Amino acid sequence: MKILFMGTPDFAVFSLDALIDAGEDIIAVVTQTDKPQGRGYVLTPSAVKRRAQELSIPVYQPKTLRDEAFAELLKALDPEMIVVAAYGKILPENVINYPKYGCINVHGSYLPKYRGAAPMQRAIIDGEEYTGVTIMYMDVGLDTGDMLAREKIEIGPDDDFEVIHDRIGKTGAALLVSTVKDIKDGKAIREKQDDSLSTYAAKISKEDRLIDFSLSAKKVHDLVRGLSPVPLAQTFTGKGRLLKIVKTAVSTADGETAAPGTVISTDGGVIRVACGEGCIDILTLIPEGKSKMSAADFVRGRGIAVGEVLCPCK
């Protein structure tokens, strides 16, 4: 079967590698255009483009999928199946309906929960105990197509986005390979989604990253780990200096109360901050203009003091 693979970030590389390892015929890769990154705004290829080039697979980076040029490219490639994994753009109907064996997607949630752009992060932020991965047929709706396979994935109390991203990526890749085989063998079973159970995982905004210490320590911890290592939750010191928070723990200390956001201790290598319920221990952070460091190093550098109040704005 001739497969056209469409994907962009590291998450998609798991699936691309799995298809190659399974001996599938990847005729080409479609990925997003190179993006400027870093302080020098250097044009940087996507993770999928880099991997495809290593594998000597033809790479295409159309600015749009809706013009005649891409329609002609699709006709020339003539894929029997399209596999999509975090491509980053909505596919038009003519692309979805082109291949004989359909257009299937690897989605990082246990559908119908967490349809949308940020399913892994949102599940962690919401304090879910499990999420999952779904292989589904694509349609014109947002992650609304018929499901082909699903697998649940546990979220541990301290698992962050990186851990869950890799866990889902690996599990989804294996599930994709078996699903492609089932489709070829005529054994795939379609299951419609129950729309009444659906939830939406919106893209992470700048406002979503701001820590509200009036929430419980558990909710603050879930936000931090859901956004770590990227794009990172953040707060500001009493002097208006930005702090990006990399790692936290819910404090086990008892009997310590103060207004939410107040630094109540800097002992033991942690920065303990009062929350609306309980306290959060900041373990690792990135101060404004500096590299990642431990809370202990930040305290030793006199970057913060007991009694200082952290807040979500300057």
Quick: pLDDT tens for 196-208.
Answer: 999 999 999 999 9
Q: Is 28 a domain residue?
A: yes
The tens digit of pLDDT for each residue in 35-60 reads: 988 778 889 999 999 999 999 999 99
Q: Is 220 a domain residue?
A: yes
Clarify whether residues 191 and 276 are in a common domain. no
Q: What is the CATH number of the domain that holds 295?
A: 3.10.25.10
The pLDDT confidence band at residue 313, using thresholds 50, 70 and 90, is confident
pLDDT above 90 (res 130): yes
How many degrees, rounded to 5, is the angle at CA 307 between CA 306 and CA 312? 105
Clarify whether residues 153 and 267 are in a common domain. no
For residue 163, what are the domain limits? 2-201
Residues whose CB is less than 8 angstroms from the CB of residue 56 and which lie 6 or more positions away in sequence, other chains included: none
Residues whose CB is less than 8 angstroms from the CB of residue 13 and which lie 6 or more positions away in sequence, other chains included: 7, 47, 48, 51, 169
pLDDT at res. 255: 65
Q: What is the CATH number of the domain that holds 126?
A: 3.40.50.170
Clarify whether residues 157 and 249 are in a common domain. no
Of 148, 233, 155, give the one whose Cα is nearest residue 189.
148
**Do β-strands 263-265 and 271-274 pair in parallel, antiparallel, or remain unpaired?**
antiparallel
CB of 209 within 8 A of CB of 227? yes
Q: Is 311 a domain residue?
A: no
Residues whose CB is less than 8 angstroms from the CB of residue 239 and which lie 6 or more positions away in sequence, other chains included: none
pLDDT above 90 (res 184): yes
Mean pLDDT in residue range 137-147 = 95
pLDDT above 70 (res 314): no
Buried/exposed 201-232: b ≥16 CB within 10 Å, e otherwise: beebeeebbebebebbbebbbbbbbbbbeeeb
Q: Is 45 a domain residue?
A: yes
Q: Which of 185, 201, 217 is the last residue of a domain?
A: 201
- Distance from C-alpha of 102 to C-alpha of 79, rounded to nearest angstrom: 10
pLDDT at res. 277: 94
- List, in sequence order, every residue forming a beta bridge with 263; answer none if it has no partner: 273
The tens digit of pLDDT for each residue in 250-292 reads: 998 876 779 999 999 999 999 999 999 999 999 999 999 999 9
Q: Is 308 a domain residue?
A: no
pLDDT at res. 148: 98
Mean pLDDT in residue range 9-35 = 97
Clarify whether residues 97 and 169 are in a common domain. yes
Clarify whether residues 280 and 159 are in a common domain. no
- Distance from C-alpha of 245 to C-alpha of 236, rounded to nearest angstrom: 10
pLDDT above 80 (res 158): yes
- Distance from C-alpha of 301 to C-alpha of 208, rounded to nearest angstrom: 29
Q: Is 310 a domain residue?
A: no
Clarify whether residues 283 and 236 are in a common domain. yes
- Distance from C-alpha of 292 to C-alpha of 174, rounded to nearest angstrom: 34
How many degrees, rounded to 5, is the angle at CA 207 between CA 282 and CA 200? 105
Q: Is 305 a domain residue?
A: no
Clarify whether residues 137 and 66 are in a common domain. yes
Clarify whether residues 138 and 238 are in a common domain. no
pLDDT at res. 37: 84
Clarify whether residues 113 and 237 are in a common domain. no
Mean pLDDT in residue range 114-132 = 98
Give the total number of structural domains in the chain: 2
Clarify whether residues 186 and 220 are in a common domain. no
Q: Is 142 a domain residue?
A: yes
Mean pLDDT in residue range 182-190 = 97
Q: Which of 201, 219, 246 is the last residue of a domain?
A: 201
Clarify whether residues 20 and 134 are in a common domain. yes
Clarify whether residues 157 and 227 are in a common domain. no
- Name the average pLDDT for the chain: 96
Q: Which of 138, 172, 201 is the last residue of a domain?
A: 201
Mean pLDDT in residue range 72-77 = 97
pLDDT at res. 74: 97
